Amino acid sequence: MTDVSVFQAVTDSAPAAQVARPRLQVVGTALASAAAFMGFLGMIGLYIAYRQDVRATGATWLPDGVVIPLTQPNMMLATWSLSGVVVIWALFAMKNDDRANTFIAIGFVMVLGFAYIAQTGYLLSLMDMPLFPTGGEALDVLNRPPLFYGIIGTHIVMTLVAMGYLAAMGLRAVGGQYNAKDLEGLYGAAFFWFTTYAAYLVMWYVIYITK
Amino acid sequence: MSNESAETGLFDRTIGTGDHKTVGRLWIFAGLGMGLVALVLRLVVALEQLDTGSVSMLEDVNELVQVWSMSRDLLIFGGVVSVLVGIATFIVPLQVGSSSIAFPRGAAAAFWMWEASVAMLIAAYIGNGGPGGGTRDFVVLWTFALGGMMISLVWALICIATTVIGARAPGMRLEMVPLTSWTFLVFALLGILTVPIQVGQLIISFLDVRGDYLSLVDTTSLASVMDTITLAPSIYWLAIPVLGIALDTISVHSGRPLRFHRSTMVATGLLTLTAFGADVTSFGRRIAGTDGVNATDFNNGLMVIALLLSVLPILGALALGGESLKSGRPAMGIPLGSALVSGLLLLAGSVVALLGTIEPIVGFIVNVNNSATGANDVPDLPDALTLNGTTFNAGITALIVTAALVAGLAGISHWGHKIWGRQMNQGLGSLALLSMAGGGALWAVGEILGGLGDQPALPVVADTDGIASVGNLLVLVGVAGLAAGVAMTLLMAVGAGLLKSGSETEPWTGSTLEWMTQSPPSYANFDRQPTVNSAYPLITMDDSASDIEVAAPVTEEVSV
């Protein structure tokens, strides 16, 4: 029996390989991202409509004494923009089978994610707008702080999910599950990261810039 | 993928399984059960509304609103959508030639999260929560539970859509996807894009109630969160899979595959566009606010266009199905009868919805006239035209919901042998069909009459007479009939699925991939990965022949 016939005998008797299902995770993540983004846009829609109503009565939208500074939101925008670049760096590194750079890039993204959350906390402390009144003072029903906090809180949750997703996929990549030819998980995590970035862009303009 | 052979215990076979067939069955059982509970609650409201001048069975009007709201929540997101998701979870992977649903553990987790959310929703209402509720913690729990139900359904829809997009058999291009799977894909995409908007509103409502920004005296306003999705024309969302199930069923039972497969796909796709437009404009109408006169006109205009355009794809899809019936040899039975009835109910719903466009059209004309003349006339419209805010829209919802439930019956009986491994009880099925169709029609007529009698959509204590009183009586009879029909469908499912009664002989076969599997299918669905190159891979098609023959069930690889 020649080498070829031995090889053929083995391959003929072996079960057929499971048909590959490319992009399932990317497709699933894209759909989940679309759902999350639409939920976020729904809240933004409520915010714009309610703000328009309040302004139509001649009242100011933000409660007396509450100011939204621009420095922190702009810094957060810069943070998000930088994180986008770093996520692309992670993908590019993985595409070249460079696990060390992938690991460094994902670690950097985590730092930027935490930086965004910390900056949001600092911004909210500067604004000093109580969500729930505690001392029996009159409710600021007109200005609806829940709308404001609901949107920002949802975005922080999205950010945490995006960080967790990216960290999990990053660990898989570093562990050898992904390589230059198959980095579907990283693509999926990157997709959700950019969705969260897009949501921040909407929030930055609607809440922080046009106030 | 887990090893099913190792799953021997009841726990492994239910809670622990990621098999899409088991999860699909669980969705169907639970959905029918919840639908029945919802209709019984609606029956209580209908009984109470026989005399709208007072509240006798329940404690007060707030409790009346709670029961009404609970029945609506459970009917849409507990019953109808769940049954449809169950059928999709079971049948879509088989139709597209996949060995499993995408993210099988995720699909199972979605079901169990939905179950937990339903339990929380019921607990919230029992604890005096929900719209009309007066206990803050339980009103908060209601927002949490309803949001959980919506998220888990969206999660399940993501699994279904991903299966159709990414797990199709080799050779199956998107235009070759069977109609049921196609309509479930567009149903899923529409759900993914619209249901989260309601979740966003619930998050805001959660904070409003939690922070006392919404007075507990006025929690009935929370019911409006569901309005966006439960009223016409957004409710057409449910109509999309109804068309798919009906057309696939017609195709098999008339022995004639649809001749214009792609045209039918386009028609159902168009319905999705109009339903999405309607949903967005419905949301826009609600949030247009006091300064939104122009926005309201704009949204009304879009809503009218969406309603008008919705009739055409429904009519077109049904006409294409009719072609199969005309040129085939229809074998009337429960599946075909249910498919036809569901299609007709859908058409009736869309036609009746056109009546609802009269008011915004008249309003638009008045506004244009006022702008042109500088006048500020607001003419008194006849009651028959001021339908917005009355039970009129609930009548359209009743027609669409009944169509979806009857389509559920069509799907469960058409694929019954695949789902349960046994034929379902035909006698009980006939009774269920009659009961559901008659009951749903009466319910809808009752609600529409109530609307013409100016009865508000939200239950209130106020004297009504004449046409609205007749309408309330019809609602009572209709809901009772529909509930009986759903109960019989549940009995059929229990009989075939749990009691294992009925013949094991496969009663019919079709030309799409699910018909080449065993009944019920094995764990991996297919012995070998099928390869296809047409929309009806199991048929032998001779272009020169005038007829198309359905091939015998195939047990080997199919490559046409």
| A11 inside domain | no
pLDDT over 90 at A40, yes or no:
yes
Min mean pLDDT across A15-19, A103-107, A132-136, B476-480 is at A15-19
Nearest CB among A24, A41, A55 relative to B166 is that of A24
pLDDT over 50 at A187, yes or no:
yes
Mean pLDDT of B384-411: 85
Mutate: best of B202, B213, B283, B529, partner A, most A CBs <10 A: B213
Q: Mean of the per-residue pLDDT values for chain B?
A: 84
pLDDT over 80 at B363, yes or no:
no
Residues from chain B that touch A49, judged by Cβ atoms under 8 A, are 287-289, 292
CA atoms of B1 and B222, how far apart (whole Å): 42
> Which helix or strand (DSSP H or E) is residue B539 part of?
strand B539-540
Nearest CB among A32, A42, A146 relative to B197 is that of A42
Q: How confident is the model at residue B305 (pLDDT cuts 50, 70, 90)?
A: confident
Provide the token pair at B321. Answer: 């199905």
Angle at the Cα of B86 (from B85 to B89), degrees rounded to 5? 80
Residues from chain A that touch B527, judged by Cβ atoms under 8 A, are none
Min mean pLDDT across A8-17, B144-153, B511-520 is at A8-17
Min mean pLDDT across A50-54, B509-513, B539-543, B551-555 is at B551-555
Q: Read off the pLDDT of residues A69-106 as tens digits, 9 standing for 90 and up.
A: 999 999 999 999 999 999 999 999 999 999 999 999 99
Residue B158 to residue A31, Cβ atoms within 8 A: yes
Cβ contacts of residue B172 below 8 Å, gap of 6+?
A: B96, B97, B532
| A7 inside domain | no
Flag whether residue B291 sits within 8 Å of chain A, measured between CB atoms: yes
Mean pLDDT of A169-182: 86
Evaluate the CA torsion angle B285, B289, B292, B297 in order and state its sign.
positive
| A171 inside domain | yes
pLDDT over 50 at B544, yes or no:
no
Q: Look at residue B456 and give its three-state secondary structure.
A: strand
Residues from chain A that touch B287, judged by Cβ atoms under 8 A, are 45-46, 49-50
Residues from chain A that touch B194, judged by Cβ atoms under 8 A, are 38
pLDDT over 60 at B110, yes or no:
yes
Q: How confident is the model at residue B86 (pLDDT cuts 50, 70, 90)?
A: very high
pLDDT over 60 at B293, yes or no:
no
Min mean pLDDT across A139-153, B30-44, B533-547 is at B533-547
pLDDT of residue A6: 59
pLDDT over 90 at B350, yes or no:
no
Min mean pLDDT across B124-138, B310-324, B355-369, B426-440 is at B355-369
pLDDT of residue B398: 94
Flag whether residue B294 sits within 8 Å of chain A, measured between CB atoms: no
Q: How confident is the model at residue A15 (pLDDT cuts 50, 70, 90)?
A: low
Q: How confident is the model at residue B549 (pLDDT cuts 50, 70, 90)?
A: very low
pLDDT of residue B389: 73
Omega prior to B520 cis, within 30 of 0: yes
pLDDT of residue B299: 63
Q: How confident is the model at residue B289 (pLDDT cuts 50, 70, 90)?
A: very low
| A19 inside domain | no
Q: How confident is the model at residue B300 (pLDDT cuts 50, 70, 90)?
A: low
Residue A24 to residue B154, Cβ atoms within 8 A: no
Min mean pLDDT across A43-57, A162-176, B230-244, B539-553 is at B539-553
Mean pLDDT of B47-59: 84
CA atoms of B475 and B469, how far apart (whole Å): 10
Mean pLDDT of B262-289: 71
Mean pLDDT of B166-171: 90
Flag whether residue B293 sits within 8 Å of chain A, measured between CB atoms: no
Omega prior to B241 cis, within 30 of 0: no
Flag whether residue B290 sits within 8 Å of chain A, measured between CB atoms: yes
Q: Residue A79: how many CB atoms within 10 A of its CB?
A: 18
Residues B519, B424: contact at Cβ < 8 Å? no
Omega prior to B553 cis, within 30 of 0: no
Distance (Å) from the alpha carbon of B215 to chain A's nearest alpha carbon: 10
| A89 inside domain | yes
Residue A23 to residue B166, Cβ atoms within 8 A: yes
Residues B120, B148: contact at Cβ < 8 Å? yes
CA atoms of B257 and B143, how far apart (whole Å): 45
> Which helix or strand (DSSP H or E) is residue B343 part of?
helix B334-355
CA atoms of B93 and B535, how far apart (whole Å): 15
Tell me the H-state helices in B127-238.
Answer: 136-166, 179-210, 224-230
Higher pLDDT, B530 or B188: B188
Residues from chain B that touch A45, judged by Cβ atoms under 8 A, are 197, 283, 287
Residue B287 to residue A23, Cβ atoms within 8 A: no
pLDDT over 50 at A196, yes or no:
yes
User: Could you give the number of structural domains in chain A?
Assistant: 1
pLDDT of residue B424: 85
Mutate: best of B204, B276, B556, partner A, most A CBs <10 A: B204
Residues from chain B that touch A133, judged by Cβ atoms under 8 A, are 211-212
pLDDT of residue A67: 85
Flag whether residue B172 sits within 8 Å of chain A, measured between CB atoms: no
Residue B207 to residue A22, Cβ atoms within 8 A: no
Q: Which chain B residue is nearest to residue A35, measuring alpha carbons?
A: B192
Angle at the Cα of B235 (from B448 to B459), degrees rounded to 5? 45
Residue B207 to residue A16, Cβ atoms within 8 A: no
Higher pLDDT, B547 or B160: B160
pLDDT over 60 at B540, yes or no:
no
Mean pLDDT of B368-397: 70
Angle at the Cα of B320 (from B317 to B321), degrees rounded to 5? 90
CA atoms of B67 and B51, how far apart (whole Å): 16
Residues from chain B that touch A149, judged by Cβ atoms under 8 A, are 207
Q: How confident is the model at residue B523 (pLDDT cuts 50, 70, 90)?
A: confident
| A44 inside domain | yes
Residue B197 to residue A38, Cβ atoms within 8 A: yes
CA atoms of B174 and A117, how far apart (whole Å): 42
Nearest CB among B192, B206, B211 relative to A34 is that of B192
pLDDT over 80 at B116, yes or no:
yes
| A42 inside domain | yes
Q: How confident is the model at residue B227 (pLDDT cuts 50, 70, 90)?
A: confident
Mean pLDDT of B509-527: 88
Nearest CB among A34, A55, A146 relative to B213 is that of A146
Interface of A with B (CB under 8 A): 16, 19, 21-24, 27-28, 31-32, 34-36, 38-43, 45-46, 49-50, 52-53, 55-57, 131-133, 139, 141, 144-147, 149-150, 154
pLDDT of residue B550: 42
Q: How confident is the model at residue B57 (pLDDT cuts 50, 70, 90)?
A: confident
ipTM: 0.86
pLDDT of residue A49: 84
Flag whether residue B170 sits within 8 Å of chain A, measured between CB atoms: yes
Residue A52 to residue B199, Cβ atoms within 8 A: no
Provide the token pair at B3. Answer: 């090893």
Q: Domain limits at A64?
A: 24-209
Residue B212 to residue A40, Cβ atoms within 8 A: no
Could you tell me which CATH number the domain at B17-550 has?
1.20.210.10
CA atoms of A8 and B291, how far apart (whole Å): 77
Task: Label residue B330 left, alpha or beta by phi (over 0 means left) and psi (-120 to 50 means alpha).
Answer: beta
Min mean pLDDT across A79-83, B309-313, B378-382, B543-547 is at B543-547
pLDDT over 80 at B361, yes or no:
no
pLDDT over 60 at A141, yes or no:
no
pLDDT of residue A142: 60
Percentage of residues in chain B having pLDDT higher than 70 = 86
pLDDT over 90 at B262, yes or no:
no
Mutate: best of A18, A31, A54, A143, partner B, most B CBs <10 A: A31
Residue A49 to residue B288, Cβ atoms within 8 A: yes
Mean pLDDT of B517-529: 87
Nearest CB among B106, B213, B283 relative to A139 is that of B213
Q: How confident is the model at residue A195 (pLDDT cuts 50, 70, 90)?
A: very high
Residue A36 to residue B154, Cβ atoms within 8 A: no
pLDDT of residue B497: 84
Distances (CA, A) of B302 to B276, B283, B311, B489: 11, 12, 15, 38
Residues B398, B449: contact at Cβ < 8 Å? no
| A80 inside domain | yes
